[in-house]
Structure 1
Amino acid sequence: MAAVSFIGTLTLSAPAWANDSGGVGLGATRVIYSEGDAQVALSVRNTSKTVPYLIQAWVMTPDNKKTQDFITTPPLFVLNPASENLLRIMYVGPALPKDRESLFYASLRAVPSTTKKEGGSVLKIATQSVIKLFWRPKGLSISVNQAAEKLRCDWSGQSVTVHNPTPYYITLTGLTLGGKGLKNQMISPLGSFRFDVLNGAVNQTVSYRTINDYGAETPSMTCKS
């Protein structure tokens, strides 16, 4: 899912557009950038009927640093009310691993405009949306549609480790351990993640769903040992 944070300055009164239920949204919850593609496109929509927004876009590394390995066009633009624009993202960096996906994050900040008619003090809130961007090489060992069922689980003492032997990032959701829910977790390609065991849940069934390329959940599966 897209992660959204809020950056704002609170003053004495709110402008008229504060009652406008629209806002800026992205056309996807994740971006798949396949090797060989010149670029990928991401739609940005302004559903407000009255408020234009200033949009700034960039790509970040997993440690939240802006990267120059991607060019985002346009990097800064005005999105008028009830309109849509396409962001085009192009990779221009060094060669990436060919045996697994690489992870980045597409980030977008939307700042609502201020008009002279508002006058006085106003409430302005800038929103920032961040979604995953996966660079996917060609010729990986298995299809992405087969990845979810390949997960394996190992019990050790008071913990269970979920192993991802595939070349894809896999986001676990709807994760249950002995019938009790756990937090969502993304596991890197050829990586693993250890979950602490709930009291009385040792060696019980681990069930999960995953998020596919379209942001939808897959059917529930049972993790095999």
Structure 2
Amino acid sequence: MISMKTFLTLTAAMVISLGIVSFNTHADVVISGTRIVYPQQAKDVSVRLENRGERPLLVQIWLDDGRDNTNPQELKLPFILTPPVSRMDAKRGQTIRITYLGDALPQDRETLYWFNMLEIPPKSASNQNQNLLQLAFRTRIKMFYRPAGLNGDPGLAAQTLRWNLVEESGGVKVNVINESPYFVSLSSAALKTNNQSYRIITETLPPKSTNSLAVKDLTQAPANAKVLYNAINDYGGTIKSEFEMGSP
């Protein structure tokens, strides 16, 4: 197995020789989907990888719980991923199987993990006498563990968010309340007032939480405003919603 210490020294995991440089600047392996949902009742879930490049690659996969620079062997997460390391020939695919080990996790809300894929290119036999920069590309997407019997519809969770304005000395923020048991992944949000639009700095909203989000370039809370926001559903699609609110 490739040393994880080597991989996690740099997020992009680069092997560098100084001098004249030759390198490939894009990842070849594609993950089927932008997020993974693991229902509690499932025996396992599968993730499909595809090597769309012109050369064989070594691929290593693991999960983390948000500590993205920690050696996976130290995390002790309740999942097994197989195979953890595989060779992928050009124009071929690979199925990764994720299996839940049954350890205790919260049953009243989702738990967030991250699926990591590191793609290692082979050394080029034709460039033995050249200085070479090789990039090992790391891709990281969300994985939601979803207990059985949660209230509500995960596809409608974004539409149940409640927003209110908070005026502070440093500017205006919005509090957004997610009372659902599901994570809501915001991709964009804007505060609309008096024909003006102000961008809201978005993030993923945990279940049963209140989150304070900054509003760019707004120094005073308006009397009336509307929030227009987009969230990402289980399939990577966009859910468009809006919320009317008054002054703080």
Alignment TM-score, normalising by the size of structure 2? 0.80
Aligned-residue offset at 1:201: 4.3
User: Percent same amino acid at aligned positions?
Assistant: 28
Letter in 1 for 2:182: Y
Letter in 1 for 2:239: T
Q: Is 1:57 the counterpart of 2:58 in the alignment?
A: no
CA contact (8 A) 2:188 2:202 kept: yes
Q: Secondary structure at the match of 1:189?
A: coil
Aligned-residue offset at 1:13: 4.2
Letter in 1 for 2:126: K
Q: Larger deviation: 53-62 or 65-74?
A: 65-74
Cα 1:223–1:55 change in 2 (3 A) is farther
Alignment TM-score, normalising by the size of structure 1? 0.88
Cα 1:219–1:184 change in 2 (3 A) is same
Aligned-residue offset at 1:88: 0.6
Aligned-residue offset at 1:26: 1.0
Q: Secondary structure at the match of 1:113?
A: coil
CA contact (8 A) 1:34 1:137 kept: yes
Aligned-residue offset at 1:14: 4.9
**Equivalent of residue 31 in structure 2, options 23, 26, 48:** 26
Which residue pairs with 1:172 in the alignment? 186
Which residue pairs with 1:217 in the alignment? 238
Aligned-residue offset at 1:93: 4.7
Q: Larger deviation: 171-180 or 114-123?
A: 114-123
Instruction: Flag structure 1 segments of 5+ consecutive residues without an equivalent.
Output: none
Q: Secondary structure at the match of 2:12?
A: strand
Which residue pairs with 2:6 in the alignment? none
Which residue pairs with 2:164 in the alignment? 154
CA contact (8 A) 1:151 1:224 kept: no
Q: Is 1:10 the counterpart of 2:10 in the alignment?
A: no
Q: Secondary structure at the match of 1:149?
A: helix
Which residue pairs with 1:78 in the alignment? 87
Aligned-residue offset at 1:23: 0.9
Instruction: Flag structure 2 segments of 5+ consecutive residues without an equivalent.
Output: 1-10
Measure, in 1, the Cα distance between the counterparts of 2:151 and 2:190.
Answer: 29
Q: RMSD across aligned C-alpha pairs, in angstroms? A: 2.1
Aligned-residue offset at 1:130: 0.7
Which residue pairs with 2:210 in the alignment? 192
Measure, in 2, the Cα distance between the counterparts of 1:146 and 1:18.
Answer: 41
Q: Is 1:97 the counterpart of 2:106 in the alignment?
A: yes
Measure, in 2, the Cα distance between the counterparts of 1:118 and 1:164.
Answer: 54
Equivalenced residues, count: 218
Which residue pairs with 1:43 in the alignment? 48
Letter in 2 for 1:216: G
